[in-house]
Amino acid sequence: MAAGDLVNINPNALNSTIEFLTAMVTPTLLISATGSLVLSTSTRLGRVIDRTRELERRLTDLIMAEDRTSIVLYELRIDTVVNLLDKVTSRARLLQRAMTTFYYGLGFFVLTSVTIAVAAFFNTYRWVPIPVGIVGIFFLFWGSILMLAETRFATATVNAEMDFTWALANYVAPKEIINKYIYNAHGKRRLRPKIAETLEKEHTREPNRDA
């Protein structure tokens, strides 16, 4: 009789147990994913802060320079550093907002697990974990949107640095060398019109500077 009781398992109880475990696993996966996003966002924010401090030192050195005429493309350097500072400031703010949003999502996913356990234990208010989990998913979605915007600023920062590097190369490199790289692989000019105009002004003022 005892052996028969062990074999005859109540299917309803088994199904309830499986449903409960499945419900608990889903928030756990979301918690793990959100934790990874928090870690990567925190790392990116630390790098942006270091980058901001580096740009601040570069700007201070340029402003405090005694002989500014000896610095190649001085005004363009100032403009580039200020432009980069503006972009990294926007990146830092976006990353802070994204990290805060991810933490909110993390908290709601943990709360979802708690409400699932409470609802299963008391067998009441079984609908409560659903809206709580949806709110957590919304925070996760909004944080991803913020990270996408931050990625665009990161790309713009790289482009701004490359613009200055190519402007410097065009200013100091011999013409026979730089003419080989006027166009990129897509057939477009590497120097944007604004940078090219700035270089023309620098070349125009070069005789007066030497005088």
- The pLDDT of residue 16 is 56
Query: Residue 77 pLDDT more than 50?
Result: yes
**Pair 87, 160: CB distance under 8 Å:** yes
pLDDT, tens digit, for every residue of 126-167?
Answer: 788 889 989 999 999 999 999 999 999 999 999 888 888 888
Pick the closest to residue 160 from 47, 55, 46, 45 (CA basis): 55
pLDDT, averaged across the chain: 81
Give the span between the Cα atoms of 68 and 135, in whole angstroms: 56
pLDDT, tens digit, for every residue of 104-134?
Answer: 999 999 998 888 888 877 777 778 888 998 9
Provide the pLDDT confidence category of residue 209 given band limits of 50, 70 and 90.
very low
Mean pLDDT for 27-49 is: 91
CA angle 76, 68, 154 (to 5 degrees): 30
- The pLDDT of residue 60 is 92
Provide the pLDDT confidence category of residue 10 given band limits of 50, 70 and 90.
very low
Query: Residue 191 pLDDT more than 90?
Result: no
- The pLDDT of residue 98 is 96
DSSP code string of the chain: -HHHHHHS--HHHHHHHHHHHHHHHHHHHHHHHHHHHHHHHHHHHHHHHHHHHHHHHHHHHHHT-S-GGGSTTHHHHHHHHHHHHHHHHHHHHHHHHHHHHHHHHHHHHHHHHHHHHHHHHHT--TTTHHHHHHHHHHHHHHHHHHHHHHHHHHHHHHHHHHHHHHHHHHHHS-HHHHGGGSB-TTS-BSS-HHHHHHHHHHHHHHHHHH-
Provide the residue type at 155 as one letter: T
- Distances 38 to 26, 29, 110, 148 between C-alpha atoms, Å: 19, 14, 15, 14
Phi, psi of 65 (to 5 degrees): -65, 135
Query: Residue 202 pLDDT more than 50?
Result: yes
Pick from 2-16, 23-37, 90-104 the range whose average pLDDT is largest.
90-104
- The pLDDT of residue 22 is 64
Provide the pLDDT confidence category of residue 7 given band limits of 50, 70 and 90.
very low
